[in-house]
A = this chain, B = another copy of it.
Amino acid sequence: MDETGDGFDRLRDASFTIIGLGLMGGSFALALKERGIGRQVWSVNRRATVIDRAIELGAVDGGTTNITEGVADADIVVLATPVRVIIDQLRQVGPHLKPGCLVLDLGSTKSDIVRAMDSLPAGVEPVGGHPMCGKEVAGIFAAEASLYEGAVFPLTPLERTSPAALDLAEYLVESIGAVPLVIEADRHDQLVAAISHLPYLTAAMLVAAAAEIAREDPLTWPLAASGFRDTSRLAGSDVTMMFDILVTNHEHVSGMLHRYRRHLDYLIDLLENEREEKLLEVLEQVWQDRHSVTSIQ
């Protein structure tokens, strides 16, 4: 990070507005504060008590429940609400943004958001974003300044996004400790369907199927050990967030579910027809694939 460059000056002097003080927005604000980024960190939240709490935590300098007021002075706006709320908020804030304002979002799917960003007034600089981090605990109380450290942070620029605005967004992402990765929105959505949305749904279906057994036999949950706990962890993710993700990415998600079902059908066939050699081969291939992915160990 070049601390003498133009990006450094722009970040240091920028007035930020964080929209949505949940886990992601709260942690983003805390990271800015901890690293001394921004002339001020302002916020918008639909509940004033949450803003009060964020002020107490030292995450923001102040805030408002009025979104159009909240963005009026911002040099950089960060939208940190669920995907469909972001799309709605982009429509609301558009006419009130300063010319040259960088608009970054943290939504988990990008195609619909980038499309909505394209309708922002000319002169505004939108860039889609999606930090690959999080926790199963929602809300400002779970926020932490270190949440983004080391996380891959895809950025999806639009055709209209200027090189300078993309540079600034990359610089901002690096400045909170994350690793920017510029990628096309639809490609991003396909990949997260595979490595994020499908895992959530496999966890959800696992819980649904095991819960049926648990309703029949009270010893089910007492027998569940760390293997079940880890494999089902994502089923405890924030439902509002995941629902928006699934709905805005339903084509890629549905494609992955069909792909997954082919593996399921194959597995059932191998088991029921006692094709043991082939079954062993499949499990060994999976083992190798899991172990070769060193980046996720």
Residues of chain A whose beta carbon lies under 8 Å from any beta carbon of chain B: 132-134, 151-152, 154, 181, 183, 187-188, 190-192, 194-196, 198-214, 217, 219-237, 239, 242-243, 246-247, 250, 253-254, 256-261, 263-265, 267-268, 271-272, 274, 276, 279-280, 282-287, 289-291, 293, 295-297
Contacts and interface: CB of A to CB of B under 8 A. Distances in A.
Q: This chain: how many copies in the complex?
A: 2
B209 A259 contact: yes
Given A194-B210, A220-B194, A250 B272 contact: yes
Nearest to A199: B231
A225 B197 CA distance: 12
B290 A236 contact: yes
B217 A187 contact: yes
Cβ-closest 8 pairs across A and B: A199-B231, A194-B213, A132-B225, A195-B224, A211-B289, A205-B263, A235-B290, A236-B290
B199 A206 contact: yes
A225 B239 contact: no
B199 A259 contact: no
Nearest to A250: B271
A269 to B, nearest CB: 10
Given A230-B231, A231-B231, A235-B290, A210 B195 contact: yes
Contacts of A261: 261, 264-265, 268
Given A209-B259, A220-B194, A254-B272, A286 B199 contact: no
A224 B151 CA distance: 10
A183 to B, nearest CB: 7
Given A194-B210, A205-B260, A225-B296, 19 more contacts: A132-B223, A132-B224, A133-B226, A152-B222, A152-B223, A154-B223, A188-B223, A190-B213, A195-B210, A199-B231, A205-B264, A211-B289, A212-B259, A224-B293, A229-B296, A230-B233, A232-B296, A257-B264, A258-B268
Contact of A234 (B192, B222, B230, B234): B230
A228 B195 contact: yes
Nearest to A236: B290
